[in-house]
Amino acid sequence: MSLNKIDLSPRLIARLYPRSLSIDLTTQAPPASQPGPPATVPGAEPPVVAAMTDWKSLGGNKKHILVVVDYPDDLHLPDTSFQFLSQLLNACRLTPNDVAIVNRSNYLQVDHREFIGHFESTTLLLFGTTTAAFGLPFEIPPYQVQTHAELTVVHAPALHELKEDKPAKTQLWASLKKIFNI
Q: Is residue 37 part of a domain?
A: no
Q: Is residue 40 part of a domain?
A: no
β-pairing, 99-103 vs 57-58, is antiparallel
How confident is the model over 22-44, as pLDDT tens digits? 444 444 444 444 444 444 444 44
Confirm if 88 and 167 have CB atoms less than 8 A apart: no
Confirm if 157 and 168 have CB atoms less than 8 A apart: yes
**Sign of the alpha-carbon torsion through 82, 88, 94, 99:** negative
Q: Is the pLDDT of residue 151 over 70?
A: yes
Q: How does DSSP classify residue 11?
A: H
How confident is the model over 51-92, as pLDDT tens digits? 556 888 889 999 999 999 998 888 888 899 999 999 999 999
- Say how many domains are in the chain: 1
Q: Using CA atoms, how far apart are residues 166 and 174, in angstroms rounded to an integer?
A: 12
Amino acid at 16: L
**Mean pLDDT to the nearest integer, 108-135:** 91
Q: Is residue 129 part of a domain?
A: yes
Q: What is the pTM of this model?
A: 0.70
| pLDDT, position 15 | 58
Q: Is residue 7 part of a domain?
A: no
Residue numbers of the domain that contains 115 = 57-180
